[in-house]
Amino acid sequence: MEDLLRELLKEIRNLAYLFPAFLIVLVAIFAYFFSLSRRQEKLQDEIQALREAMSRQKEK
């Protein structure tokens, strides 16, 4: 019984590392997706500028 309790306590202590690791991974994933969304916005702005430039060229 004592061995079982010791093992259980050891496992519970190991769980203390699980939450910070999970949190770090979660923050990294959100940072990556935020970075992707910013890049996509910049690319869409550039595409819009190119479309406008092309339409001005056609008007000339």
Report which DSSP code applies to 60: -
Query: Is 1 part of a structural domain of the chain?
Result: no
pLDDT range class, residue 2, cuts 50, 70, 90: confident
Query: Is 4 part of a structural domain of the chain?
Result: no
CA dihedral 44, 48, 49, 50 (to 10 degrees): 100
> Which residues span the domain enclosing 39?
25-60
Domain count, the chain: 1
Query: Is 3 part of a structural domain of the chain?
Result: no
Query: Is 15 part of a structural domain of the chain?
Result: no
Cα–Cα distance, 34 to 26 (Å, whole number): 12
Task: Tell whether pTM > 0.75.
Answer: no
Per-residue pLDDT tens for 7-45? 888 888 878 888 899 999 999 999 999 999 999 999 999
Cα–Cα distance, 55 to 47 (Å, whole number): 12
